[in-house]
Amino acid sequence: MLQGATDGTEGGLIEGRMWIAGEWVSASQGRATPVLDPSDGRVLGHAPHASPEDVKRAVDAAREAFDRGPWPRWKPKDRAQVLRRAAQLLTERAEVLAQLESRNAGKPIRQATFFDLALAPEHLSYFGDLAARPQRRRVAQPDLEGSEGTIVREPVGVCVGIAPWNLPLLMAVWKVGPALAAGNTVILKPSVLTPFTSLELARILDEAGLPKGTFQVVTGPGADVGNLLVADPRVDLVSFTGSTSVGREVLARSAGTIKRTLLELGGKSANLILPDADLERATDGAIFGIFLHAGQLCESGSRLLVPARQRDRVIQLLLEKTHRLRVGLPRSFATDVGPLISEEQRKRVEDYIHSGVADGAKLLAGGQRPDTPELRRGFYLRPTIFADVTPSMRIAREEVFGPVLSILTYESVDEAVEIANGTEYGLAAAVWSENVSKARRVADRLRAGTVWINSYHLLSCHAPRGGFKQSGIGRELGPEALDEFSEVKHVFRDPDGRWASTAYPLLFEEADGPPPTSTGNQPAPGPKDG
């Protein structure tokens, strides 16, 4: 699989290389970062720690490929063909890639297979379809009779995608797919914790026929590699997914060169059960909403809002279902909840659990590390549920990013909406009700980029995804994603020069009499607002 590596699915060490200017390369200074297997804490492999020279070479290659290379100048249908072929290769290698993703990210193999590797090829194929759409459209200009207008969609330029560790391949596709579909050149920086499937994406795109230099993958810590990429004036766009605190830093660094910046950041999503909801289905949705990938998803439904009079029944159902969840090795198809990504992340989540207890929340389940011998070396935590949580507690305000569910109660729907909206985040939310019209009215009041009704975590490549407030800027997926990676140009044509010849004497020559009158129904051209 990986260049110069033994296959990670067979237990050998993975020695990754970067993909720069159409070549597999090691770090120029010979540095490499160990990558751990979260299930046992052992070294899974190594990824190059890019030097400033390596980063410069990647930007040089992307800049050259955009300014003088073929990809931005190819016909849309030809770009579409490459992306569709890459999607097919992803499908053909889905089983091996799912195993690699499971080992690297600690994701249960069932989830890696039926979520990550089911969606990634579908979404890349969709971006191929978007690439084939016409890049020009005529626009009517009735206020300027006789003129003609064309709206042209053009690529932005050199785009940097900084992908997170929780959905490494899928979120790489969300950045790379629309960027390439729009005709840009791309530099992908995966998380230092989960670089390997991004490197395989480079191999697949190359095999699919992407011109050399159009796509680069550089690896290394964000504080070194990411900061250099974001600050480089030759980079035209940065798309970052990660925490809100780091997102603020990315935005500040991007401001120096006024580059376009897309941010998909943190969340503290509310999962709102209305009084008439089917509690069996709603609690199924609550379990799925918070414990998928051990709660390490930015839209995880970490706050469950429950009618006060139904609190006890909801808790009973949640505890019954949570106790049936199997915490285990990611490679087992029987596993429901795998490890957290690192020991640092586990300690961070444990700190939140301790704060919940200290603040007076009632710990109903979990909160401990499993003591099973085969799990002791990994970064595991049991699924955790708190009751009697109030909106002012840390576990109700801050993003935990782990398998921790906070149950809050409410007396009225108005109060529930106020609690749901009462955070700095606005990434996602859900509403559970047997009355869809009522649920829609509540959904309309929730300040979140995605609101599910009687569901959670479902994604459609045809629909945009992104956050309100401090959950981000811009949208991924849907045709809106292509807009984010495109510049829009208006080409104005005045075939016979009529408007210029009329405007010239009005604006530049002295006139003895009143200004010229308009002809027909058209006003005389000139400034309308001061």
Catalytic residue IDs: 264, 298
Residue ranges in 459-515 assigned as alpha helix (H) = 478-484, 498-508
Residue type, 461: C
CB-CB contact of 467 with 264 (8 Å): yes
Whether residue 435 contacts residue 455, with contact meaning beta carbons closer than 8 Å, is answered with: no
> Is 133 strand, coil or helix?
coil
Q: Supply the DSSP string of 347-377, one letter for each residue.
A: HHHHHHHHHHHHTT-EEEE--S----GGGTT
Residue 148 in tokens = 């003609």
AA letter at 247: G
The residue assigned the tokens 């609550």 is 286
> 10 Å Cβ neighbour count for 490?
10
418 Cβ partners below 8 Å, 6+ apart? none
CA-to-CA distance for 251 and 391, rounded, in angstroms?
Answer: 29
Among the listed residues 385, 278, 267, the one whose alpha carbon sits nearest the alpha carbon of residue 325: 385
DSSP H or E run through 424: none
In angstroms, rounded to a whole number, what is the distance separating the alpha carbons of residues 367 and 350? 7
| DSSP 3-state of 37 | coil
Buried-exposed string 510-523: b where 16+ CB fall within 10 A, e elsewhere: eeeeeeeeeeeeee
Report CA dihedral (172, 178, 181, 184) to the nearest 10 degrees.
Answer: -80
Q: Which DSSP string corresponds to 454-480?
A: S--S---TTS-B--SGGGEES-BSHHH
Closest of 452, 9, 388, 437 to residue 196, by C-alpha: 9
Residue type, 396: A
Buried-state track 438-451, b at ≥16 Cβ within 10 A, e below 16: bbeebbebbbbbbb
Query: Of 323, 425, 338, 389, whose CA–CA distance to 115 is shortest?
Result: 338
- Find the helix packing angle between 168-181 and 94-105, rounded to 10°: 120
3-class DSSP state of 215: strand
Q: Are 226 and 189 in contact (CB under 8 A)?
A: yes
Cα 127-174-445 angle, rounded to 5 deg: 105
